[in-house]
Structure 1
């Protein structure tokens, strides 16, 4: 992993969510830590309660770490936090050597999709020779045109020869499959509406976009990880979670 914060964030996250070690809340989290997760009420105190309530059932398995300046994104699987295992993304902001802020987008673990891919499998190692800033720029352009702009043909423009490896549980591989899926939902009035990107985390060939929008009129948080090879979009993972209607009651600062 690149960046000075990647290993620190992963180690702290593992201590808390894999070993249930709440002592890191004092040693590694800032006094003014801000928690945006809709699953947690009350910043550090809410985290402590979640972990202690889970007890011995708690567990975490990491698949990917992306480090980008003061931001680190983790992609992995949780046990013990809900009735079913959860999979998705955690984004941390580091300030003065401590965890200062956290966002997440987590969804239930599903069966492999029609192409046999899971929500976590696929490439994990960051390509240190890749230009993450160029990939970030490509990802934002693709996202703005194809998802915010609802020009789904962008999946053809940014991929090559119809190759697009898909880890979303509901969609098979290939550009035709994702275009047909999105177009069909839109025709039914259940389309994925994207309003804006809140932040990106880019590391090597990976770019995570954290955005918001709505599905069938219900507000959603989108965390989508895009994989690039030689300037071409090749693969994606996602975790799209509905925003609770009472999320403002949980946090004055909201989930974003």
Structure 2
């Protein structure tokens, strides 16, 4: 647990690193753009739908419905979209952390080819959508408790994010096919929970995936460093 806290603090301190700033700017801009474009498409689809059922003056109704649906979709899908976008730039963040804090590991790292990077990203998005959809009925049943749905999604995304954020660094060192990660389940859950909670905070949620990727690199490289010298990952 202490290693996760220390990793998060190191990640936050590195937010001013130019390489991290560039990735943050790109990933945040693309994430926001995806939701803005989706909102426009949703608005026009609703207006056309209302017109087809005879509500020709449905512009205001369409706009209102689009805003409400977009807000719900943003809350539900933000983690999935933000992490999916970040996957395409993850190597840059991991490389920046390795270069600054783990120069020896940086020399051994193997950047992922685009095809493998894309496959990992799509698998991650698929897992996130699947498990969030599975959790949705449970969250709906607990809606009367007010806090129940938030806890359900927090726990689900803690598991998902913990895996994705540590795998970003591990996949650069584990070879192909990947071996078992050196990061413990408790570490992954703690890191994922911290980032999932951060994603619930307005504005801070936009930086949470960046902080998570950097912190996941610290957690993973720290776990690798504690392995026995004869471990293949250190050969």
Q: Which has the larger radius of gyration?
A: 2
TM-score band w.r.t. shorter chain = under 0.3
| Higher RCO (Cα < 8 Å, 6 or more apart) | 2
Higher share of residues assigned strand: 1
- Using the size of structure 2 for normalisation, the TM-score is 0.27
Higher share of residues assigned helix: 2
